[in-house]
Amino acid sequence: MNRAYAIAAGLLILYASFMRFKSPYLEYCMMLTARHAAVGLFAVWLWQRNKWMALFLVWAQISTHIPQPDLVAIVKPAPDKPTILFYPGDSQVAFNNVLGFILWYAILKEILKKEYIHYIYAVFVVIAAGNVIWLVLQYYNIDPLFHPLREMAEFRTGFMGQKNQVSALLAFTLPAFLRPKWWYLSPVLIPGFVLSVTVGGPLCAFVGLTFWCFTWNKYYGYGMLGIAFIGMAGFIRYIDQPNFHRVHAWIAGLMWYKEKWLTGYGLGHWKQTFLEHREYFKGWWREAHCEYIQGLYELGLPFPILLFGFLKDLLQRFNREAIMPMTALIIIAVHCSFNFALHIGPLALIVVTWINIYEVLCPQSQT
């Protein structure tokens, strides 16, 4: 590590040693101090590999200490209630998830080589096929491990915890099938999408397939677009219809975001807002069901700036060798607009893995 990075690391340790937290428990304060120093050092190391990831990690850490104004005072004034609420537990859980996924990114960044990528594709195919097999077992009620929620036998989830999650998993792994001698296995995903009975996964899959076809030939692209329209129309008509109830949560979140547009309400604070103030709108949403709105609400203006910088860096490096990971990232980007895949451990790990594959196939210029 050169002198500049050593100085930066020293300043981070010094900053952490003088930090004070609103807690009477010395052990808790010391734990947070040590964690800030460790995260700071990790961010310094990560900066040399992906500055946008490093900046996101640092801002997520800072965001755990942003207090949340009492929204009751905004919606309905209540002088007898406190004006500041702070939820360190939710912030710490959310940050631990962020840190875990970035650690997975860093590990793959160091060990993943181009010659290993086809093994990861094979793993994706096995994971998808395994979930489809389990969905079939659940459909015929012969899965010995399956215990449906609320005694709903038709609620099929594969190895995941919820039907939207297994549908997303099938869509996220679809590009691994789009290889020579492997594409003929892709029809195995069709019964998986049908048995999961949710429209989100097929929609994202059709968007990804349309992009993939257009990259090869515009006529293939137009043909796939027609198939997508017919396929989605049939799926919506006979299997599952889109749910627009979450729009109420989006509107409420954007309305309250304006009160703290710069810093947001703090990492992990979305569900607390909707738990305590659900009487002022329709329903309670533990997650926003839109990663972009929830990221903006919790992390404020830095979130879209960091996201834009990260995506711009990826797009500038694109080459045709990375069509499959680019297809996966498009599928993921569409899915994140109406669901919360990045809040689900297995799905988030798949997302991070696709990002690493893309970066291996599209390395940064050394000039």
Q: Give the DSSP letter of residue 179.
A: S
Instruction: Determine the Cα–Cα distance for residues 133 and 189; give it in Å rounded to an integer.
Output: 10
pLDDT band, very low/low/confident/very high, at 148 (cuts 50, 70, 90) = low
Q: Which of 327, 334, 360 is nearest to 176 (CA)?
A: 327
Average pLDDT score, the chain: 83
- For residue 253 the two structure tokens come to 């979140």
pLDDT band, very low/low/confident/very high, at 73 (cuts 50, 70, 90) = very low
pLDDT value for 187: 92
- Which residue ranges make up each domain of the chain? 1-48, 50-367
pLDDT band, very low/low/confident/very high, at 89 (cuts 50, 70, 90) = low
Give the count of alpha carbons within 13 A of 72, CB side only. 14
Q: Give the DSSP letter of residue 85.
A: E
pLDDT value for 231: 92
Q: Identify the sign of the CA torsion 19, 22, 23, 24.
A: positive
pLDDT band, very low/low/confident/very high, at 367 (cuts 50, 70, 90) = very low
Q: What percent of the chain clears pLDDT 90, i.e. is strictly above it?
A: 51
Give the residue-averaged pLDDT of 252-279: 81
pLDDT value for 78: 46
pLDDT value for 77: 44
Question: Would you say residue 69 has pLDDT above 70?
Answer: no
Q: Identify the sign of the CA torsion 314, 318, 321, 327.
A: positive
Give the residue-averaged pLDDT of 212-231: 91
pLDDT band, very low/low/confident/very high, at 16 (cuts 50, 70, 90) = low
State the alpha helices, DSSP H only, in the chain: 3-18, 26-47, 51-63, 71-75, 88-111, 117-139, 163-173, 189-196, 200-216, 218-238, 246-257, 270-276, 291-299, 302-316, 323-335, 345-361
Give the residue-averaged pLDDT of 251-275: 84
For residues 291, 188, 101, 211, the Cα torsion angle rounded to the nearest 10 degrees is: -50
Do the Cβ atoms of 328 and 172 come closer than 8 Å? yes
Q: CA separation (Å) from 308 to 114, 208, 239?
A: 26, 21, 36
pLDDT value for 12: 63
> Where is average pLDDT lowest: 178-192, 195-209, 260-274?
260-274
* β-bridge mates for residue 69, sequence order: 84
pLDDT band, very low/low/confident/very high, at 242 (cuts 50, 70, 90) = confident
* β-bridge mates for residue 85, sequence order: 68
Instruction: Determine the Cα–Cα distance for residues 103 and 145; give it in Å rounded to an integer.
Output: 31
pLDDT value for 50: 93
pLDDT value for 271: 79
Q: What's the start-to-end Cα distance of the chain, in Å?
A: 20
pLDDT band, very low/low/confident/very high, at 283 (cuts 50, 70, 90) = low
Chain centroid to CA 24: how far?
Answer: 35
